[in-house]
Amino acid sequence: MEAYERLLKYARIYTPSDEKSDTVPSSFCQFDLAHTLVRELKEMGVADAQADDKCYVYAKLPATAGLESRPCLGFIAHMDTVSDFCDHPAHPMVHRNYDGGELPLGESGRTLSPKMFPHLEKLKGQTLITTDGTTILGADDKAGIAEIITMTEQILRDRIPHGPLAIAFTPDEEIGLGPRYFDVEKFGADFAYTLDGSTEGEIQYENFNACSAVFDIRGVNIHPGASKDIMVNAALVAMEINSLLPSGETPRDTEGYQGFYHLTHMEGDVAHAVLHYIVRDHDAAGFARRQEKLREITAAINEKWGLGTVSLKIQDGYRNMAEVIQNGNMHLIQNARTACETAGVPALVLPIRGGTDGARLSFMGLPCPNLGTGGQGCHGPYEHITSESMEICTRIALELVKIYAQ
């Protein structure tokens, strides 16, 4: 079975994680995919495949005879999708010999267009996979899963020599909890790659330092006709807080290594308002400065409007894995470059403007950079991928297996 055929199957399995849930996993529908993957791995001959009670899938391929001393190489992808544009199962659509132009997405009224995604013109003649425009596709990260399992099938079918291999599929990555109960010792790899990027040939080991920040604003509400010098409008204070952040440092205005403040949600009225932000920066010192800026704003607002008007809660997320990869693990990047070249695709060593399971796993003792899967436009109804890009990503992973068997 080709990788894209597996994606079509996995995409139809409903697996959004739920950031408001306190269960593990956050949504039990993720078990549907976990059990499907275990069954599929066992059917192709991977006897050591299992899903634990927290919805982590682990599998191992013993080394080819004579290669037992090679390092154990791992591959990881996540099973959950975002909940945005995911209130019902996806309906993948296959567009063979895509013409590179505008493409209506079913009856949704949405159109996948080169005006929004200029790279579409380069996909002319390929087999393009989308949804009907009412949901995400779920290529993030079911494409990574499909590529890992297809690679595994090829290794077993063609008896490709390999060292010890470890495979894992995680839940709840999209809500930042993928590594929470990941058992590094049970996984057993010396190092690994997540397949959770976009363009084929991407190699990423520099990710954002990340945190969330919540401003809780308490106002003073009184009849507006008698509010002179008394009312403190929490909604207006919220607007003031946002205005004190540096202009031009939002996701829309930044790229590459540039960090940002991102207002993700706001609610409130005169008496009470709340601002939810995520804060990102590749540079540790820059990240610390951003957090300090939030504290300075809090202090300034309380000095102006009264102590207790606003409180700030900062919760750290993940750190930049470059700190780990650059400390004796750059062979992972060098070998990934070689694998891309052998697979006939340019190596694109780029910073991640986000994070992956590998960011936390790297600090848990498992160096784990990220590779592209071929998916584009993730987290929205315009998500798409081609069968050709998935084939290339599968080939890159397979080349890495061969390199670490040498």
Give the residue numbers annotated as catalytic, written as ranges: 80, 173
Q: Which two tokens stand for residue 28?
A: 């039990």
Question: Across-strand partners of 273?
Answer: 217, 268
**Contact indicator for 287, 279 with CB cutoff of 8 Å:** yes
The DSSP-derived string for 122-136 is GGTTS-EEE--SSS-
The DSSP-derived string for 11-66 is HTS--B--TT--SSSSSTTHHHHHHHHHHHHHHTT--EEEE-TTS-EEEEEPPPTT
- DSSP character for 5? H
- Calpha distance 246→67 (Å, rounded): 55
Environment class of residue 158 by beta-carbon count within 10 Å: exposed (0-12), middle (13-18) or buried (19+)?
A: exposed
- 80 closest CA partner among 113, 111, 56, 108: 56
**Contact indicator for 278, 210 with CB cutoff of 8 Å:** yes
Block residue for tokens 């659509």? 93
- 258's CB contacts (< 8 A; 6+ apart) are 249
Q: Which two tokens stand for residue 264?
A: 């993700």
**Contact indicator for 310, 215 with CB cutoff of 8 Å:** yes
SS3 for 170? strand
Q: Which amino acid is at 324?
A: V
Q: Which two tokens stand for residue 43?
A: 């059917």
**Contact indicator for 202, 350 with CB cutoff of 8 Å:** yes
**Contact indicator for 198, 309 with CB cutoff of 8 Å:** no
The strands making up 191-195's β-sheet, listed across from edge to edge, are 48-51, 57-61, 165-170, 73-78, 191-195, 370-371, 202-204, 348-349
**Contact indicator for 56, 169 with CB cutoff of 8 Å:** yes
